[in-house]
Amino acid sequence: MLLRLEVQNLAAIRQAALELGPGLNVLTGETGAGKSLLVDALALLLGARPEGLLGPFGDSLLVTAFFAAGEERVLSRRVGARSTPRIDGEVVSLKELQEEAERWLSLHAQHAALALLSPRRQRELLDALLPPDLLQGYQEAYARHQALLGEKRALEEALRSRSEREDLLRFQLQEIREARPRPGEDQELEQEAERLRHLEALRERAGRAYALLAEGGALDLLQRTVRELRAGGRFDRALEALAGDVEGALEGARAVARELEDYLEGLEGDPERLAALEARLSLLERLKRKYGPTLEAVLAHAARAEAELAALGGGEERLWALQREVAAAREALLEAGAALSQARLRAAEALQKGMEAELAALGLPRARFPVGLKALPEPGAFGLEEVAFRFSAGPHLPPAPLAAASGGELARIALALALLTGAEAPTVVFDEMDAGVGGETAWKVAERLARLAETRQVLVVTHLPQIAARAHRHLRVKKAGEEVRVEVLEGEERVRELARLLSGQYTEAALAHARLLLGQPAASPKTP
C-alpha cells in the first residue's frame, strides 16, 4: 500500500505531499491544480521519461514514495542535474527501480508508459485465470528440455574438437607420467642441492667447530672442571651433583666431536649428483609452471586430464543417450504446452465474454475485446504462443492493439481486467477514468472501483461526484500561488467539494444532492 507520496520541483509544484489510506482514495480539485502531475510523479518511479516535468524551483526534481505491506520500501527518483534512483536510500539502476515499483504499483493513465500494452503483461493477465500448476509444470518441462539441449550442444562441440583435445590431454599426461613427480619431492631435492652448492662453506664451518671442541681445549676444560668439582665434592655434595652435570655435558661434547669428525670425512663434493639434482628440479619447476603452483596441483591436473579423456572416449555413447533424452523431453514439453494452450484458449474465450460484458456496463456497449493466441515457431519460456489483447469500440471498427484506444477507454479496460483477473499490484492508480463517462455509467464505474478497493488500494483522479462519494479517503489538490497543497476532506468540506463537482456551485440544491450521495440527511431548511 502507498502510504505517502512526496514531490519537489515537479512542473508547477514546488513541494507537495499526498497521504493515502486503504481502500478507495479519490483526488479532486480545480482544473490545472496539479492532480495529474501527482500521477506523473508515480509514473517516474515506473521508469517514465521526465520530459517537461522539471520545474523552475531548482536544478532537479525529486519524487519519493513510501510503501508498506508486511515490509516497508522507500522508492525515490531524482531527475535533473543529479539523476539518482534509490531503493531504501541505496542507489540503484533505473531498471531496478522500475521493477521494484511494479511490485507495488499499477498505473493506468493515457500519458503513462502502460505495462498493460506489453505482450508480457497481457499474458500474465490471461494466465491469472489458469490453475497455477499448469504454467509451473510447463516451465519445469521447458527448463529440463533447455538443460538437456545445452548439454547436447556442448558435447557435440567437444566431440567436433575432440581429436585436438585428446592429443593435448595425452601429451600432458605423458609429460607428467614420465616425470613421475612425488608430493614434496621438490622440497627434498632442493635441500640436498643446497647442501652440495655450499660444500666449501659447510666444510669450513664444520671444521672450525670440530677444532674448537677437539683441538681448542674445550674438551680438556670440561674434563678439568669435572676433576675440580669432584675434589670439592668430598666436602660438599652440591659440588658432586654439579660435577655429574658437567660430566654429562662432556659426554655430549665428545659425541658431537665424533659426529663432526664423521661429517667432515663424508663431506665430499659430487658435481654429477648436483647436476642431476639441478636437472630434476628444473623439470619439476617446468611442470609446476604449466600445470599448477605445486606438485600436488600437477598431479591433480593429471587426474582431471585422465578423467576427461575417459569421458571423451565415451562421448558418442553419451551423445546417443542425450539425443534420446532430448527427444523425450521435447515430447513432454509439447504435451505440457498443449495442455497450457488448451487452458489458455478456454480462458481467452471466457475473458473476452466477461470483458465485453464489463465494458458494456462501463459505457462501451458495442465494444469488442478479442483475446488472440499466436503460435510461436518454437516453444518459448512461457508457452507455445503469444497473447495479444485487441479492442474495438464499435462493430464497424476493426479490433486493433490496445495502444490505439483512448485514455478513457484504456482506463475502463484496465478496471475491467483488474476485476476479472485479480492480477494487479497492491496499489492501483487510474487517471482519465472520467473521459466520456456520465449518467448511469458513472454510477457503474464508481461501483466497480469500490469493489476493486475491497482487495486493493485504489487511487482515482476524478471529476465525477459519483466516484468521489464512494471514497474511503477524499483528497483535494489546491493551488495557492506557487504552492500546491493536498488536503483531506471531511464533514462539510467534503459536502462542498461534491457540490462543486455536481454543479460547479455551492447552491442549496447542490449541497443537498451532495449529502444525498454521501448518505447524509438533508440539512434543515433555514427559518426566515
Q: The domain that contains 59 carries what CATH number?
A: 3.40.50.300
Residue 371, in any domain of the structure: no
Residue 159 has pLDDT above 80, yes or no: no
As a whole number, mean pLDDT of residues 244-273 equals 75
The gap between the terminal CA atoms of the chain, to the nearest Å, is 50
Residue 95, in any domain of the structure: yes
Cell triple for residue 475? 483528497
As a whole number, mean pLDDT of residues 57-69 equals 93
Structure confidence by residue, pLDDT tens digits, 46-56: 998 888 899 88
Residue 360, in any domain of the structure: no
Residues with Cβ within 8 Å of residue 322, at least 6 apart in sequence: 148, 151, 152, 155
Both 168 and 283 in one domain: the answer is yes
Measure the CA–CA gap between 209 and 202, rounded to whole angstroms: 11
Residue 330 CB neighbours (<10 A): 16
Residue 433 has pLDDT above 50, yes or no: yes
Which residue segment(s) compose the domain that 89 sits in? 1-110+422-489
Both 296 and 170 in one domain: the answer is yes
Q: What total number of domains does the chain contain?
A: 3
Both 197 and 64 in one domain: the answer is no
Both 57 and 83 in one domain: the answer is yes
Measure the CA–CA gap between 471 and 486, rounded to whole angstroms: 16
pLDDT of amino acid 68: 94
Residue 386, in any domain of the structure: no
pLDDT of amino acid 408: 81
Both 191 and 290 in one domain: the answer is yes
Look at 357-361, 408-412, 477-481, 513-517 and tell me which has the smallest mean pLDDT. Answer: 477-481
pLDDT of amino acid 206: 67
Percent of the chain with pLDDT over 90: 51
Measure the CA–CA gap between 44 and 202, rounded to whole angstroms: 81
Q: Cα–chain-centroid distance for residue 222?
A: 80
Residue 484, in any domain of the structure: yes
pLDDT of amino acid 115: 76
Residue 205 has pLDDT above 90, yes or no: no
Residue 38 has pLDDT above 60, yes or no: yes
Cell triple for residue 38? 501527482
pLDDT of amino acid 218: 75
Both 280 and 224 in one domain: the answer is yes
Percent of the chain with pLDDT over 70: 93
How do beta strands 90-91 and 84-87 pair? Answer: antiparallel
Residue 80, in any domain of the structure: yes
As a whole number, mean pLDDT of residues 270-285 equals 82
Is 343 or 206 the better-scoring residue by pLDDT?
A: 343
Mean pLDDT taken over the chain: 87
pLDDT confidence tier of residue 369, bands split at 50, 70 and 90? very high
Residue 82 has pLDDT above 90, yes or no: no
pLDDT of amino acid 423: 86
pLDDT of amino acid 524: 46
28: nearest Cα among 474, 502, 519, 485: 474
Both 281 and 211 in one domain: the answer is yes
pLDDT of amino acid 123: 96
